[in-house]
A and B are shown apart, each in its own frame.
Chain A
């Protein structure tokens, strides 16, 4: 099945109370297929056909605030139209799950894959999980329900997959049984509900300078335990399905001297290149980031610490002259541990919340900057431009030269653009 079919199937098995959605290429199939499930009575979902993505997210937020397990899905311009409401979903701490089929943003108009849409919302407070293929997209949607609804978290989560490459590519996908998914996600107990007449509440009240800061501080703290919850849910999902998940996949990284960091389908292409290079005796590896927000920077730096040269592949640009977003995040993480005990201590968050950050790394303070790997950035694949084995091989060849000489040269490059 295609990625879109797999995600629609996951949504059928989750059987949310409410789905409010608007079609947009390449997401359309997800909600189209799901609407047939509704029409055929295979789910008990209230399906709301709205007039825009802004309304789709608004209706989803309203449903979630009323205590419903609510979902939507979108892409690109539609995602951009949701912008205002994205922040409200996160600020109201509503555990909405939203598959996003990654597509380029206009202008110029383009319907094909890159990560510009969701990367723009990387600081909206949403959890962002990237999928390499249809199987992962399916698995991630089911896990995202548990992650978002965790009482340690209570944040909305988007599950990202590459437009057309994954959403329309046909591959075999192993599905769980309906009752297995139901058992895994469990029944939904909202943290709060507008319809709970025994506990009347006000949602979305004015919050001026006297309290707004405290509520945003809570939101920032809620991101801290996400990594641990993602790991815990990923392990539990592994016991159920045989497919375990962590924060990232470290592919042949143990003894790697050169490594590529990528998100989504490109990680699969890079793994194929690594297999070729390994046969030739090159110590190459791949780091595929799965949890992108909140960014597990400390863990990523640790797993990359033995590598001599790293290339971060970004399928979007920040137009900041600083390179792509993933590159900027990793570079920042390499400078020093972001948070220490003085900010996020165990006494405040409990062992689960505190354990996402490495105690040893915190104790040493700033990192040993003399041992840092050399890191370069490639922006590639914008607007669906293909990236192939040969291009990634050339990246590894450059990394080998960097590893030998220690000279990085130009830090940010564009891969596959015509000069």
Chain B
């Protein structure tokens, strides 16, 4: 847990930096893990379209893997994967971890980036920028 005290965080629970969801790792919520088989995958991108967490990784126009730091294990990708292909299968997280020694799930989880907002980075650089006003 972040050690910052109440005087050091923006007021009212504001998040003053964009894109902080990247730092909020939701992968640890997962009970079932999607296991993707690149041999079977036909790159139809149905999983990419349907994934509610944008966890299907794409590289050079092809499915490249699954972002397990953010995948919550909902199983939609496996469900949407065409029945004749079945390139994604859901397995119990505990079993998957036992198999790969936890390597596929290195997220620390639960760390909201709330207190990490860097005022220098958030400052627009304009003269008289009032960024400090949301600070306690």
Contacts and interface: CB of A to CB of B under 8 A. Distances in A.
Interface of A: 91-93, 151, 154, 189, 191-192, 198-205, 207-208, 210-215, 217-218, 221-222, 348
Contacts of B115: 211
Contacts of B15: 201-202, 205
A218 B14 contact: no
Nearest to A92: B12
B7 A348 contact: yes
A211 B14 contact: no
A198 to B, nearest CB: 4
Report, nearest first, the 5 A-B pairs whose CB atoms are least far apart: A214-B6, A202-B15, A217-B6, A198-B124, A191-B133
Contacts of B11: 93, 154, 191, 215, 218, 222
A199 B2 contact: no
A34 to B, nearest CB: 28
Contacts of A151: 133
B130 interface: yes
Contact of B12 (A189, A215, A221): A215
A186 to B, nearest CB: 15
B12 A91 contact: yes
A64 to B, nearest CB: 11
Contacts of B134: 191-192, 201
B112 interface: yes
B61 interface: no
Given A191-B134, A210-B1, A348-B7, A201 B112 contact: no
B7 A199 contact: no
Nearest to A190: B133
B66 interface: no
Given A198-B126, A214-B9, A221-B6, 13 more contacts: A191-B11, A192-B134, A201-B16, A202-B14, A203-B12, A205-B114, A207-B114, A208-B112, A210-B112, A211-B9, A214-B6, A215-B12, A215-B13
Nearest to A212: B13
B112 A215 contact: no
A213 B4 CA distance: 12
Contacts of A204: 13
23 contacts: A91-B12, A91-B13, A92-B12, A92-B13, A93-B12, A154-B11, A191-B11, A191-B130, A191-B133, A192-B133, A199-B131, A201-B14, A205-B15, A207-B13, A208-B112, A210-B2, A210-B112, A211-B9, A212-B13, A215-B11, A215-B12, A218-B12, A221-B6
